Structure 1
Amino acid sequence: MNDAYIFIGSNIERETNYPLAVERLCRLGTVLAVSPVYDTPALGNAPNTPRFFNGAARLLTELTPHALRNALRAIESELGRVRTADKNAPRTIDLDLVLYDQEIIGDNELKIPDLKIFECGFMARALADVNPDYIIPPDGPTLAELADRLCTSRDNMYTVPGISSQVRQFVQNALQTQATAPQLPACVTHAYDNDRSQTIIPDHTITNYAAQQHETSEQKSQRAIATAVRTILVNVGEDPTREGLRKTPERVARAYNELLGGYAVNPASLINGALFESAYDDMVVVKDIEFYSLCEHHMLPFFGKAHVAYIPDGKIIGLSKIPRIVEMYARRLQVQEKMTREIADFIQTLLSPRGVAVIVMGQHMCATMRGVNQTSSKMLTQAMYGAFQERIAHEQLNDRLQQAE
């Protein structure tokens, strides 16, 4: 995980856009701390320019610097930001990545550390609020030292308690719904009111994770998967906050819970006692069992039909259990060869029959949608145990599989 520092600004509908921006930041990782919201004058002293709400957030994220920058731009766009040649023009929201771990970056897209922090006292002050001991690379100073150096005058800079409280609540709510969050020590931040007196602001590093402690392991897994999907969306260039994708991470998490549900199946509960003594000693064939699985190499689907046969030796299994056994092993990450043998091994262990045969025909999306792009190719695998290794039983099985419905 990476330690990123975001500077936030808004002077168009700022009471609405600033809290919304913080809410969306919470979707990009874990917001560890937020500064108070400051009311500051616009840069450049342009006449009639609206005052800004400014502040900073400390974000723990899996995103790379450039991916995070793109995600911030996507949030700006969603909130109506239009970039112009005038860098001091009014804007609905401004989200600038100004510091990132101890990285030093200087390319066409990113300048980290952002040099503006060495010029603007209000930026240094807000950043010091979220982590005063952070050492600016490569050799300092700390954010607290920089803030003290630049904030010689605090005229026209004061905190906005109502919006500050609203922003802290967004962060607290987000932490209570995330799968994991680091247990960092609380830090007390300092803000300045419009009377120029130093005022202690309550702890903005939220460490209340009581709600998460009551989550089941399944709920924690679902949240972790959703967070990972959100990271994927950003890194492929998408905006996970736009309307069509806003709930996609949670949908994917629920889908994986179904598609990979085989891991959670208890075989004993699956069989549920449906084993019966029987004198029947001829072949039992259940064919055309449809299955859907995910390839362990690309996590893309493969699907098709399975045919299962066994020759009893005093014991048979309930008819519905064979398709359920196939489904139990299909709903896992694997290759088709492994799935075929696992089904055969399970039936062999369960029934100890005179023979077991499993034949699987599958079509693989990893070979259809990508790579060799073979839209019609299919894969055939089989496992033959006991009597089915003999030619006579093998031929009888083939005859029965080829019989018309």
Structure 2
Amino acid sequence: MGEIDTATAWIGLGSNLDDPVAQVSRALDELDAIEATYLLHASSLYASPPMGPPDQPEYVNAVAGLLTTLAPEALLDALQAIEQAHGRVRTGERWGPRTLDLDLLLYADLQLETARLSVPHPGLRQRAFVLHPLAEVAPELVVPGLGRVLELARACPADGLRCIGRAGLS
């Protein structure tokens, strides 16, 4: 296999267990530490109501832009390793509480559908907790097949989403 070109990848971060602000802040540092990857952008932190079962704490969310030479599935492996290091346990419960959730939202202008990975992330268009932080740091970014991030964010109601400040990056 040949060399992978450098690509910008966008990652959604979320946590609602075990000090979510610290979980997301630490994860941003850990994204920057992934081999062959550099943290370019980090949005503010946002609090949002849970998407899944209502009997769980609110989430803290952010979006990060990475410059990487890793292929999409190798980047996904690195993201899942960070989730596991944060105590993430995949129980099969959809949208339940979690210490850390890292979603590969976009990878350059790639459109990809495999058994493990869909890029752009299939829920991106409906998720205020992704679109509004993404619009903060990359409003002109074009989501393949969907359009500009700023327009997508304007069409997606904030629904209780609120900015709570910046992550404590080291």
When normalised by structure 1's length, the TM-score is 0.39
Q: Which amino acid in 2 is paired with 1:50?
A: P
Match of 2:140 among 116, 122, 133: 133
- 2:60 aligns to what SS in structure 1? strand
Partner of 1:79: 86
Gaps of 5+ in 1: 171-405
After TM superposition, give the deviation of residue 155 of structure 1 in Å. 4.3
Counting helix residues as a fraction of each chain, which structure ranks higher?
A: 1
- The 1-side partners of 2:38 and 2:136 are apart by 17
Identity across the alignment (%): 33
- The 1-side partners of 2:159 and 2:116 are apart by 33
Larger Rg belongs to:
1
1:157 aligns with 2:161: yes
1:5 aligns with 2:10: yes
- The 2-side partners of 1:51 and 1:159 are apart by 13
Partner of 2:3: none
Which ranges of 4 or more aligned residues in structure 1 deviate by more than 2 Å?
none
CA deviations on 1:160-202 (whole Å, 9 max, x unpaired) are 12xx141xx33xxxxxxxxxxxxxxxxxxxxxxxxxxxxxxxx
Q: Which amino acid in 1 is paired with 2:32?
A: C
Higher RCO, Cα 8 Å, sep 6+: 2
Q: For 1:246-395, what aligned pairs fall within 5 Å after superposition?
A: none
After TM superposition, give the deviation of residue 61 of structure 1 in Å. 0.8
Q: Which amino acid in 1 is paired with 2:155?
A: R
- The 2-side partners of 1:51 and 1:149 are apart by 23
Partner of 1:17: 23
After TM superposition, give the deviation of residue 156 of structure 1 in Å. 2.1
Match of 1:148 among 144, 154, 158: 154
* CA distance 1:47–1:149, change in 2 (3 Å): closer
RMSD: 1.3
CA deviations on 1:24-69 (whole Å, 9 max, x unpaired) are 001122111111100001013x343111001100000111100000
Partner of 1:43: 51
Q: Which amino acid in 1 is paired with 2:30?
A: R
- The 2-side partners of 1:131 and 1:47 are apart by 30
Counting strand residues as a fraction of each chain, which structure ranks higher?
A: 2
- The 2-side partners of 1:40 and 1:25 are apart by 22
- The 1-side partners of 2:126 and 2:159 are apart by 16
CA deviations on 1:113-149 (whole Å, 9 max, x unpaired) are 11111111221111222211111114x4101110011
When normalised by structure 2's length, the TM-score is 0.90
